[in-house]
A = this chain, B = another copy of it.
C-alpha cells in the first residue's frame, strides 16, 4: 500500500520547522524545535526525533510516511550532506540525510531551501503543470531553484542554481556576503534593499520619511511602509531594485527559456511597487526571440507553510536508494 504522507523539515539558523503533509499539499500538523539550542548534533537529532515522533503518533501517521524531505542551507542532493553551514552550530560536512534516515527508518532526501521551494511550487503551487521555470526567493538573500524539462537542475556537483550571485554591477559593485562584488543578492535581497536605502539617503538630497529613522536600522519593511505612504525616494528604491531584477531575469531567460519566473519571499509583499519595474525591465531587456513568452508569477504557497511544504515535496522523491554518501 502506498503511504499517504510525507514529512517536510526546514532547517534555519534559529528554528527547525517540520510538518506532516498529504498528497494535496495540506499541512496536517506541524511543530518546531530550536536549531541553535543544540550545540551537539546528536542532541539536536534526539530532540528532532522525539518531537517529530510525537507529531506522527498524535496524527495517526505511524508507518504512513512515504519519505522525509529536508531543506537546509548548503545541502547537497547527491551526497545527502550539509557541506558548509555558517548559520548552523555543528561541524560540517554533516551526513544529514543518512543520519536522519537511520534514526527514523524512513527514506530522506535533502536539498537547499531555494530548490525545496521550487519543488514545493511544482508539486503544490504556482508551478503545477510547468516543466520549465525558475524560482527566485527574495529573502535575506536571493536564492534560486531552476527546473528544466520537469527536473530540478542540480549540476554536476549538486550545487547548481546560485542565481543570486550573478554579477549585475561589474565595476564599482557592492561587496556581497560571498566575498565578491556586484552580485544580484547584494542589491535585490531584503538586505540589499536596506543597503540601497542607506545609499540613496546619503547621496540624494530630497526629503523622505526614511530620514526620520536611524539610517543604520532601516529595513526593507521600512522602505515598503514609506513607499505605500507615497514617499518618492522609497518608491525609487523599489524602481531601482526591480530594474536590476528584471535585467537579471532577461539574462536568465537566455539560458533556459522558462515558461515562468516565480517569486517567493518577504520582498514580494511589496507587490506592484516591485513587480512593475521588474516587468518593465524584462520587457526592455529580453532578447526579441523570447519577448513576452516568460510569465512573472508569485508563489501560491502560504508563506507560513511554504518552507515545510517545499521540503515535504522532496519527500515524495525520497527512496531507500536516494543518493547518499
Q: Write the chain B residue with the least CB distance to A163.
A: B254
Q: What B residues does A285 contact at CB under 8 A? A: 167, 180
Of the residues B160, B258, B289, B290, contact of A256 by C-beta under 8 Å: B160
A156 in the interface (beta carbon within 8 A): yes
Of the residues B160, B167, B169, B287, contact of A162 by C-beta under 8 Å: B287
A170 in the interface (beta carbon within 8 A): yes
Q: What B residues does A251 contact at CB under 8 A? A: 166-167, 251
A25 in the interface (beta carbon within 8 A): no
A200 in the interface (beta carbon within 8 A): no
A167 to B154 CA separation, bound complex (whole angstroms): 24
Q: Write the chain B residue with the least CB distance to A255.
A: B255
A288 in the interface (beta carbon within 8 A): yes
Of the residues B167, B252, B254, contact of A247 by C-beta under 8 Å: B167
The smallest C-beta distance from A248 to any residue of chain B, in angstroms, reads 9
Q: Are A159 and B256 in touch, CB under 8 angstroms? A: no
A34 in the interface (beta carbon within 8 A): no
Q: Are A166 and B293 in touch, CB under 8 angstroms? A: no
Q: What B residues does A257 contact at CB under 8 A? A: 154-161
Interface of A, secondary structure class, is: loop
Q: Are B170 and A254 in touch, CB under 8 angstroms? A: no
Q: Are B132 and A155 in touch, CB under 8 angstroms? A: yes
Cβ contacts A50-87/B at 8 Å (1 or 0 each): 00000000000000000000000010000000001000
Contact residues on A (Cβ < 8 Å of other chain), bracket = 35 or more
Q: Are A166 and B259 in touch, CB under 8 angstroms? A: no
Segment at the interface with B among A116-124, A144-152, A202-210: A144-152
Q: Write the chain B residue with the least CB distance to A257.
A: B155
Q: Are B179 and A288 in touch, CB under 8 angstroms? A: yes
Q: Are A159 and B247 in touch, CB under 8 angstroms? A: no
Q: Are A293 and B170 in touch, CB under 8 angstroms? A: no
The smallest C-beta distance from A153 to any residue of chain B, in angstroms, reads 6
Q: What B residues does A156 contact at CB under 8 A? A: 131-132, 257-259, 293
Q: Are B162 and A289 in touch, CB under 8 angstroms? A: yes
Cβ contacts A83-124/B at 8 Å (1 or 0 each): 010000000000000000000000000000000000000000
Q: Are B180 and A293 in touch, CB under 8 angstroms? A: no
Q: Are A178 and B287 in touch, CB under 8 angstroms? A: yes
A165 in the interface (beta carbon within 8 A): yes
The smallest C-beta distance from A300 to any residue of chain B, in angstroms, reads 19
10 closest Cβ pairs, A-B complex? A155-B257, A160-B257, A156-B259, A132-B156, A162-B254, A166-B251, A165-B287, A160-B256, A255-B255, A165-B254
7 A–B contacts, CB within 8 A, in A order: A132-B160, A148-B151, A148-B153, A161-B255, A162-B290, A167-B250, A255-B256
